[in-house]
Amino acid sequence: MNIEIREVTNENRNQILNLSVNENQKSYIESVEECLKESMEYKNYKPVGLYKNSCLVGFAMYGFFPKEGENGRVWLDRLLIDKKYQGKGLGSEMLESLIKHLVKEYKCNELFLSLYENNKRALHLYKKFGFEFNGELDVNNEKVMVKHL
């Protein structure tokens, strides 16, 4: 398995902008275009392309927010697998790689994310990887989950 997490650059930006989810998933996650705009406004965010065997299959956005919690928080803020690559186990592969990547980059002992609880597929995936609800809601009323490492 050759997984790569590559930052968004001028070379891959258009290809990354073409990623999208199925119609019934669009209410759960912002478009890649919205994510990239947000990452320009908030420099804490790092948008990345997710590649398997040099093929772009997904997108993620994460970052460290130093003013949250006692020691700051590392957020896996967005994760999507393009609709044509869904159902092949890539969500699990990419999440596993992202967790390792974030721990290495930030030397953190917790990871945070948020989701709408009715997003059953994402909820199942995150629970499988040890994320648990912590009782908080984010600014969009999504439930916050944490993984203790």
Catalytic residue among 45, 51, 62, 126: 126
Length of the chain: 149
Q: Which residues contact 92 (CB under 8 A, 6 or more apart)?
A: 125, 128, 129
Contact between residue 115 and residue 132 where contact means Cβ atoms under 8 Å apart: no
Establish whether 126 is a catalytic residue. Answer: yes
For residue 42, count other CB atoms closer than 10 A to its CB. 12
The residues annotated with a catalytic role in the active site are 126
